[in-house]
A and B are shown apart, each in its own frame.
Chain A
Amino acid sequence: MATTLNPMVLIDPTVTTIAASSDMAIRPTNLTGLTIGLLNNGKAKADIILDTAYNMLCELYDLPEPVRHSKGSASQPFAQDVIDNVVNECRIAITAIGD
């Protein structure tokens, strides 16, 4: 005798993120006089990348001393107070990952 199997109801195991929406910041057309944040992810040689980028910009624009921050760990985000500092003190920020 044929049997009819009840359908199986499976529960979805996944969690998805909801993409945050944000607008791109307005890019300045001239960097002269603007403070740049140099954000180092904490891995070796990221400082070289950042310093090289900053020096190249200095050849094009008259720039003040940058604001520098380095993460203690490459796999953790910057602390909120660091992010706040960059937002308050800098007009643009450059990040680098090294290795």
Chain B
Amino acid sequence: MKFGQMSIESEKHILKDPSEAIEYCYQMGWSDGLPVIPPTEEKVQEFLKYVNFNPSEVILVEPVAGRIVTAEKAAVNAVMAGCLPEYFPVVLAALQGMSEPDFNLHGATLQTGGTAVMAIVNGPIVKKIGLNSGTALFCPGNRANSTIGRALHLVLWNCTGNRPDQLDMTIMGHAGRYSMCIAEREESLPMQWNPLHVERGFSKDSSTVTVFTALNPLQTGYAGSSDPKEILINLADTLLSLNPWHRELLIVVSPEILNHFSDAGWSKEDVSNFIFKEARKPARDFRRAHKFRYAYQDHQAKEDTMISILESPSALQIVAGGGEGGTFITVVSPYGIGIYSKSITRKITTD
């Protein structure tokens, strides 16, 4: 169904020129601290027409406070973030994922832990809109990565009360709250390894976005060996600083390490099984450090019982990404070790 000039329902603000408009956005508290693109009616209409959505269509519902984000509001914030219209389908799919009950939007975005919403994009749309999956993966510099991630957080800022003067209870937080969007570097995966969206039941040629409630990333790396066991022992040691029994734990693995896995014939299951077995320590060590905070299993385990960082091997989510010429793994732990919020993968609709 095609729409002509779509009916915009939101309040309108009249400003005399772009300079005044940018300052006005600051004065109104609409900004995340960085300048925003003034959301003109023309720009908003352009975004809505690109996706062919009725402005009033509900995209996201934050159930606790009863806030509803329509396609119109999503478009306004995507414009402000600096998105191009062709990024908007990714933004919409991500917001819809955040609205699913298992994501637990209220908890995932407003709790004291200060998680960001991390978006991981797979499929043909990565190349189509120029998302970065390689060098400087988590860094500034790519418009699609920066603005898609930013759009999600501006929606939270402006529409669901995720700000210190409203509902946000964050104590520390991290810079991912500005933007945290990556693409998976699918071409670097070893043969027989599936990308994230295929692991989750989508066809390889479909485009998807996975939203994940992310604590601050933790980077580790080991360049002293090409032996997968040596590399993963280094990773396991890093993981031991986390809470036990993660139901989901994300690692982003750089191409050089993936090459080592491939050369040694290791599968994703081999990696997951190894981490499940190696990344463990006695209950006494977790207990002494008060790391049974999210325990949902028997945390009265005997002192010598060896407990894993993972609830099961399948808890480890392995994604390819980052630049070549370096052996690094970025670890991203979710809010509540994956109990209180589950990552959600949604298909991106571009028609």
Interface residues of A (CB under 8 A from B): 5, 7-15, 17-18, 44, 73-77
7 nearest interchain CB pairs?
A75-B107, A15-B159, A12-B11, A13-B76, A13-B158, A10-B13, A73-B340
Mark B20-31 against chain A: 1 for CB-CB distance below 8 A, else 0.
110011000010
27 A-B residue pairs with Cβ-Cβ distance under 8 Å, sorted by A, are A5-B17, A7-B16, A8-B18, A8-B20, A9-B12, A9-B14, A9-B41, A10-B12, A10-B15, A10-B40, A11-B12, A11-B13, A11-B39, A12-B12, A13-B10, A13-B76, A13-B77, A13-B159, A14-B158, A15-B68, A15-B69, A17-B66, A17-B67, A73-B104, A74-B111, A75-B104, A75-B107
B-to-A contact residues, CB < 8 Å: 8, 10-18, 20-21, 24-25, 30, 38-41, 44, 64-69, 72-73, 76-77, 80, 104, 106-108, 110-111, 154, 158-161, 293, 336, 339-340
Contact, CB under 8 Å: A74 / B107: yes
Question: In chain A, what residue has the closest Cβ to B108?
Answer: A75
Contacts of B110 in A (CB 8 A): 75
Tell me the nearest residue of chain B to A20, going by C-beta: B66
Supplied contacts A10-B40, A11-B13, A76-B104, 13 more A-B pairs, CB within 8 Å? A8-B15, A9-B40, A10-B14, A11-B10, A11-B41, A12-B76, A13-B39, A14-B158, A17-B65, A17-B67, A73-B104, A73-B336, A74-B111
A73-B107, A75-B107, A75-B340 given; A12·B13 CB < 8 A: yes
Interface contact A77-B16, CB-CB below 8 Å: no
- Smallest beta-carbon distance B167→chain A, Å: 10
Known contacts: A15-B160, A73-B340. The answer to whether A8 contacts B12 by CB under 8 A is no
A13-B158, A17-B67, A77-B64 as given contacts; A8 in contact with B76, CB under 8 Å: no
Q: Min CB distance, B135 to chain A, in Å?
A: 33
Q: With a CB–CB cut-off of 8 A, which chain A residues contact B73?
A: 13-15
Cβ contacts under 8 Å, A12 to chain B:
10-13, 76
Closest chain-B Cβ to A88's Cβ sits at a distance in Å of 23
Complex Cα distance, B65 from A18, in Å, reads: 9
Give B150 Cβ to nearest chain A Cβ, in Å: 13
In the complex with contacts A15-B73, A73-B339, A10-B68 CB distance below 8 A: no
Most-contacted residue by chain B among A10, A13, A15, A44 (CB, 10 A): A13
Nearest-CB distance from A98 to chain B (Å)?
12
Which of A5, A11, A18, A76 has the most C-beta atoms of chain B within 10 angstroms of its own C-beta?
Answer: A11
Alpha-carbon distance between A75 and B161 when the two chains are bound, in angstroms: 15
Q: Which of B38, B72, B158, B293 contacts A10 (CB 8 A)?
A: B38
Q: Is the CB of A13 within 8 A of B68?
A: no
| Partner of A11 from B40, B68, B293, B339 at Cβ < 8 Å | B40
A14 to B158 CA separation, bound complex (whole angstroms): 5
Residue of A nearest to B167 (CB): A17
Across the interface, which residues of A come within 8 angstroms of B17, CB to CB?
5, 8
Contact for B293 among A7, A14, A44, CB less than 8 A: A44
Question: In the complex, which residues of chain B have a beta carbon less than 8 angstroms from the beta carbon of A74?
Answer: 107, 111
Minimum CB–CB distance from A14 to chain B (whole Å) comes to 5
Nearest CB to that of B43 among chain A residues?
A: A11
Query: Given the complex, which residues of A lie within 8 Å of B107, measured CB to CB?
Result: 73-76
A73 contact set on B, CB distance < 8 A: 104, 107, 336, 339-340
Tell which of B21, B108, B158, B336 touches A15, judged by Cβ atoms closer than 8 Å. B158
Contacts of B68 in A (CB 8 A): 15
- Is the pair B41, A7 in contact by a Cβ cutoff of 8 Å? no
| Cα(A99)–Cα(B117), bound, Å | 24
Q: With a CB–CB cut-off of 8 A, which chain A residues contact B8?
A: 11
Which chain A residue lies CB-closest to B39? A11
Q: Is the CB of A10 within 8 A of B69?
A: no
**Chain A positions within 8 Å of B67 at CB level:** 15, 17
A15 to B59, CA, bound (A): 13
Cβ distance B21 to chain A, nearest Cβ, rounded Å: 5
